[in-house]
Each structure stands twice: as structure tokens, then as C-alpha cells.
A and B are shown apart, each in its own frame.
Chain A
Amino acid sequence: MSKIHVTTTVNGDEVEFLCEPDETLLDVLRDELHLTGSKEGCASGDCGACSVMVNDRLVCSCLVLGAEADGAKVETIEGMADGENLHPLQKKFLEHAALQCGVCTPGFLVAAKALLEKNPDPTETEARYWLAGNLCRCTGYDKIIRAVLDTAAEMRGN
């Protein structure tokens, strides 16, 4: 079986890779590009730990084929901080202790960033529904939701 040659953009950088036809974007990110921030939790689209942006849409990278990334714009957790400067969401997650083991955290951050870009002033209900596809088995969800709403308030300048 011949590998597929894919040219894509990951976090603003043009990237080329070879992948098997049935290889997922998550596997490519982790194993070929060594971007291991995106995690594999369930591998069936239920847990959101592999959340990335593809062409400005929040998706589970475990449910995208690597071949589908050809010509696409991919953004991962690795592109979220600006060098050493953490994104406001990352700072607030630390401040609110909105993580324990950390496996769900990259997915939550990518999903929460997508929420705030679409809706800078979400209600708690809106935030909880938006993040319903991100599962956390450690903290429960309260600290995460508080961190997201606090970030939203700060980014709006309140």
C-alpha cells in the first residue's frame, strides 16, 4: 500500500508528511509531527481530548484522516501560547486549578478558545453545552467552567 503525500499548514507552518490511507490526523500529529499535546482518550469522538481546529472548525482529530488534511489549515494546542506567553485561557486554567492529570486539558483549551472566538460572552449554560464533548474524569467540570467564564470576562475587559 502506497503512502499518501500530504501538504498542510499546522499552527501557521507549512508541513509535509506521508501517511497511510487509514491513518488518523491524530496519529499523524503525534507520531509523524511529534506534536503530542493532542491526546488520544477514546479514539471514537466521545472524549474531545484530541480536539484541534481544521479550517477554523473544532473537530476531533481522531475522527479525521491524515489524508483529509491536504491543503487544510490545522491548529493544535502547540500553537496556543505565544512563545513563553501563555494564552489567557491557559493562565486562567492554572489560576483556577482547572486540571489535575492534564490529559483532557489540551482539548478543553482548544475547544474553549473556539468558543470564545465565536461567542466572547457565553452564559454558563452555553459554555457547558459547548464543552459537553470534552470529558474530564478528575476535577469535575466546575473549575473548568469557572476558568473559561473568568477568561471571557477578562478578555472582554471586565
Chain B
Amino acid sequence: MRYEAPETIDTAVSLLAGAGGDARVLAGGTDLLVQLRADMIEPELVVDVKKIQSMRTITEENGGFRIGAAVAGAELSEHPKVKAAWPGVVEAVDLIGSTQIQGRASMGGNLCNGSPAADSVPAMIAAGTMVSIAGPNGEREVPAEEIIVGPGKTSLAKGEMVTSLFLPARPARSGDAYLRFIPRTEMDIAVVGAGVSLTLDEGGTCTAARVALGAVAATPLLVQEAADALIGTKLDDAAMEALAAAASAACNPIDDKRGTKDFRIKVAGVLARRAAQIALERARGN
């Protein structure tokens, strides 16, 4: 294994594209090093991107926030403006692992690790996050929901890497939330996760909504039917019931040691509704 720590995105991309064997990007390393040590992967090259300044910083852009792909969870949680605009995203990132893991783990890494149960991913999909990718053929930008294509698999081509994630500007009366179910209080993998982002008009009618689920299919899901259940309503009980039903209907989960298929389907509806309620309260407060 070779270790390189380039200072520019161009150099990192050249290294990744030129590698003869498996090449991996090292951001926080909280998944990568575990996989290395378990011999799950044997890369020829590891490219540490933390010396690339733009991948370590959060910048305000067009009223939104560009978050470097290697920004650690603790750094994101300490950014008061991101937390005020996107509390659901920040809380979702904060749920990943322990304090020690938060010192290293990044949104870019959580996304590119490709886990269907990744906590930050449903929240970032609900938020409408746009992902910037650099590669041998230049740069491209895709919605967060197009990155993970299967457990541990992404749509990134050889030589490509995620450089930043863009959280868009928030209209007035907007709110987001992410909830997960785990059988304990901390340090666990989501059995089900649900992220909701919504915007209200002055009369309290929902004008825009996005609902995303985690750990209930081979990839995190953006559930249009669940969002449609909210849009145009005042988020009354009937709308919330319809949201929960649509969320449950979208699930295609597996049975495993963390939860049964039936349990996940039921809980996805419950969590989507509870997350929508929190997002609603936040939207009313903005």
C-alpha cells in the first residue's frame, strides 16, 4: 500500500486515476481503516485528502453552505450557521459514532462508504444536497440520492472523488429533521432512519417537502409519494397518516439481527411522521 497526501484536488484525481490497483480516498478514515484492518480491502493506494484546504472548510455560497467532503462531524456541529439553517442534517451527522469518531468522520465519507444505513445520508437527501465530484474528465454535480447504488457501492467512476457537499439556501418557514431507531441510546447502527425537510407558506400550507429513508432498502430512498402526501396540506393528522403510509409502502427491507422486515416497514412510517412533526415545528419557528 502506498500513502499519498496531495495538496490539490487535481493531484488527488491524477493519483486515483493513475493507480494500477484498488485506490481509496482517506478522509476521516473511520470506515476505511476498519476495512483495511479487517482485510476487507487491500488497496494499492490510499489518498489522504485532508491536506486539500477546500475539502476541510465550510463556506457560505449563494445563501447556502458548501461543506468540504472531509470536514469532520465535530467541525460541522460547531458551525452555528449551518446548525441554524439545517439542524436535521447536523443532528444526523452527529449521530454517527462516538465523540472520538466525530473528531474524524465526514459527510463525504459517510456518503461514499455506501451503507444503506448511513445516518447522515437520508438527512442530506431530504435537504436536497448537491454533491460535487472531481474526476479525470473534470467536475460534475449530482444530487445526493444518486451517489449510493447498492450496499458499499457508489456511482463514482474510477479516478473520481467527492470534493464537497452543497446545502442550498433555506426559504423562510423551512425546517428539517432526522430520526433513527436503534435499540439503545448511542453508538449503534440505524435499524430505520427517516429524514424530512419542508417549507410552509405564510398561511401554514406545505409548499415543498422531501422525505428520505435509510436502512429499509439496498440504498437510502428518496420517497416522492411521502413528500406528495405533505405538499398542499397543513400537515394535519390526515396528511401525516398519508405520509406514514407512503413511507411504509416505499420500504423494501431485509430481515437481519437488527430488525425484521415487518418491524422496519412499520417503524419507517412512525419515524417519518415524527420527523415531519419536528420539521414542522422548526418551520413554524423560522
Contact = CB atoms under 8 A, between A and B. Distances in A.
Interface of A: 1, 4, 21-22, 24, 43-46, 48, 51, 54, 57-60, 62-65, 67-68, 70, 111, 114-115, 129-134
Contact of A132 (B33, B104, B187): B187
Contact of B50 (A1, A22, A68, A111): A68
A67 B5 contact: yes
Contact of A70 (B2, B5, B46, B97): B5
What are the 7 tightest A-B residue pairs by CB atom distance, in nearest-first order?
A133-B98, A57-B103, A21-B3, A132-B186, A59-B103, A63-B33, A60-B100
28 contacts: A4-B3, A21-B1, A21-B3, A22-B3, A22-B36, A22-B46, A24-B37, A43-B37, A44-B38, A45-B33, A45-B98, A57-B72, A57-B74, A57-B103, A57-B104, A58-B103, A63-B29, A63-B30, A63-B100, A65-B3, A65-B33, A67-B5, A68-B5, A132-B187, A133-B98, A133-B100, A133-B187, A134-B98
Interface in B95-113: 97-101, 103-104
A62 to B, nearest CB: 7
Contacts of B142: none
Interface string B76-117: 000000000000000000000111110110000000000000
Q: Which of A45, A48, A129, A130 has the most CB of B within 10 A?
A: A45
Given A59-B104, A65-B29, A132-B98, A44 B34 contact: yes
A128 B187 CA distance: 12
Contacts of A59: 100, 103-104
Contact of B48 (A24, A68, A129, A134): A68
Interface in B1-29: 1-3, 5, 26, 28-29
A134 B100 CA distance: 9
Interface of B: 1-3, 5, 26, 28-30, 33-34, 36-38, 46, 48, 50, 72, 74, 97-101, 103-104, 186-187
A111 B98 CA distance: 11
A63 B104 contact: yes
Contacts of B103: 54, 57-59
Q: What's the dominant secondary structure at chain A's contact region?
A: mixed
Contact of B34 (A21, A45, A65): A45
Contacts of B33: 24, 45, 62-65
Contacts of B29: 63-65, 68
Nearest to B101: A45
A57 B2 CA distance: 26
A133 B34 CA distance: 16
A130 B38 CA distance: 27
A22 B187 contact: no
**Interface-centre pick from B5, B26, B33 (highest chain A CB count, 10 A):** B33
B112 to A, nearest CB: 16
Nearest to A22: B1
Contacts of B48: 65, 67-68
